Structure 1
């Protein structure tokens, strides 16, 4: 058998055992780095390194564990010398006056949302609580090694000895890193959101779409809690409370009644919308991706990502056709 034939068979064998874990590795890398685009690159690097080492894989652990070990090391290397990806509320500043001009700092690389998919494997569906936007934002406050230990121990439920082997440190070091990570996370992570039953959430979201597309500001903010937060990277500006959110929507948002189209999406295990803005030529173009936190009292948080480059990650076009609009 030729060398090329042997290599082809080996590559097929590798992909057969490794490819089923690609999507959950993407979620793992996203938790580590806070960017779906960077996570995709890191998964590619993980599979490249795994393929190169496949002939030396001794099967002392499962393929899944082996791939996670490689992915974690790839992420830690990528995070060396790199700043964290925050949300505007995570910068430590006070809520903003809606009358002030929104501020866009050029030096900050922001957290991105993670698109959910209908065909996500069970490992992701079950673990979507660990993908919620607020938690991933809180993880960004941890140094990379603490972040890795926390994710491996508390999300993936690895034993301390497995984490120690993956990170090439002692079990005592793993336990120390985990203790510090949990303490830090407790100081920055928000309270767990109370989940809302699907029928009630669907009815609220339907009202949200109708109010937004009509640009009925009073109807929109009626769906928010009294202390709701509205933030919109890449602007560091963020607002809190119905009155400030209403002022922003009424005076800053460029849409007119009938000038927006909201397409439902799901991100980080949360409901959301891809918002298209109608231009003077009548064409609906990508405007923002909204990820909402919905509780029993209404929408408590709106993360509005003004990065139209995210639309491709959600499998959405940047321009809607006449039929779609």
Structure 2
């Protein structure tokens, strides 16, 4: 919808009728925007609510000089910047700067760190029918990309998202952030340099699952159900990384990850069923653990990054509340049958 069309609707209808018609369609993409900015899906939803509240309060003064979409993004960006003032960034364990841990080390966790959260696809994926747009949207919410964004100062983060993800002109970003084009270009250059150190971009990971990858994921789910360590190791890349917030350690290499699962994971054979979902445009699984009464309770949520036909990275989030966020069952019955596991 163009700015002129937006303005026409505003003039023809009272604010009470025009506001929801003009703005409701942008809620999901604004949630994705706030998620990229904050690294928290829960914060993102709250900030989108604040964005709509501020937009509603100022709607009578909206003159249509930009599109409604651009206007909402300007509000959302500044809402996020205000919320991020004085806040610690949200890292993953690999972003803490410590070397990889040994699978024999005692597990240590921290509740003092505000950890990065995964995002359910239905809350942050756009509704475009254009394949190129769909791919671009998925790439911009990939877990590694969002994790890398958290290492940037908030204003650099905003500049990079507005310029590289939303493809705004430098002049538009300068207007949104009440700064100069020179400052925008300088911030973008510094942000690019930081992301280059992290060796991640929006287009470094595959975005689709072909039949071979789907078959591999079926074997992956079965291997955890059987606790077949050799099979799990065989599906990991040699340089795979495993991390599991709020535990602060992270593990590198397929063999070390296999030893970690073998020796530190409390489940045995037929103790760990998985239920498929998707997170950050990636395959993900809620892993459940058998309880003394035979039922299965939430244990952790795995988000997988694939390279070729193998698993390159696993982020296992030990937060049972995420199961509800992702619409996963609160428990599984004792006679639960392990399915195919393909997303």
TM range (shorter): over 0.9
Return 5+ residue gaps in structure 1 as ranges.
1-7
Partner of 2:76: 71
Whether the 8 Å CA contact 2:163–2:170 is kept in 1: the answer is yes
Whether the 8 Å CA contact 2:213–2:309 is kept in 1: the answer is no
Partner of 1:142: 152
1:117 to 122, 131, 138: 122
Measured after TM superposition, the shift of residue 321 of structure 1 is: 4.7
Partner of 2:265: 253
Partner of 2:46: 41
Measured after TM superposition, the shift of residue 163 of structure 1 is: 0.5
2:63 to 53, 58, 65: 58
Q: 2 CA distance for matches of 1:170 and 1:323?
A: 63
List per-residue Cα deviations over 1:131-155 (Å, max 9, x = no partner): 1111111111100000000000000
Q: Say how many residue pairs are matched.
A: 318
Partner of 2:5: none
Whether the 8 Å CA contact 1:195–1:296 is kept in 2: the answer is no
Partner of 2:232: 220
Deviation larger for 43-52 or 183-192: 183-192
Whether the 8 Å CA contact 2:139–2:207 is kept in 1: the answer is no
Deviation larger for 294-303 or 310-319: 310-319
Measured after TM superposition, the shift of residue 305 of structure 1 is: 0.5
Matched, 1:277 2:289: yes
SS in 2 for 1:311: helix
SS in 2 for 1:259: coil
Partner of 2:94: 89
Deviation larger for 307-316 or 50-59: 307-316
Residues 226 and 190 from structure 1, CA distance in 2 versus in 1: closer, same or farther, beyond 3 angstroms? same
2:184 to 142, 162, 174: 174
Whether the 8 Å CA contact 1:24–1:124 is kept in 2: the answer is no
Whether the 8 Å CA contact 1:196–1:294 is kept in 2: the answer is no
2:170 to 141, 147, 160: 160
Whether the 8 Å CA contact 2:212–2:309 is kept in 1: the answer is no
Residues 121 and 83 from structure 1, CA distance in 2 versus in 1: closer, same or farther, beyond 3 angstroms? same
List per-residue Cα deviations over 1:149-193 (Å, max 9, x = no partner): 000000000011110111011111111111111111111233723
Measured after TM superposition, the shift of residue 196 of structure 1 is: 6.4
Matched, 1:132 2:142: yes
Deviation larger for 81-90 or 191-200: 191-200
Q: 1 CA distance for matches of 2:157 and 2:111?
A: 26
Measured after TM superposition, the shift of residue 284 of structure 1 is: 1.4
Q: 1 CA distance for matches of 2:218 and 2:16?
A: 48
Partner of 2:18: 13
Structural RMSD (CA): 1.9
Measured after TM superposition, the shift of residue 67 of structure 1 is: 0.5
Residues 124 and 309 from structure 1, CA distance in 2 versus in 1: closer, same or farther, beyond 3 angstroms? farther
Measured after TM superposition, the shift of residue 316 of structure 1 is: 1.9
1:183 to 193, 197, 219: 193
Return 5+ residue gaps in structure 2 as ranges.
1-12, 338-343
1:98 to 99, 103, 107: 103
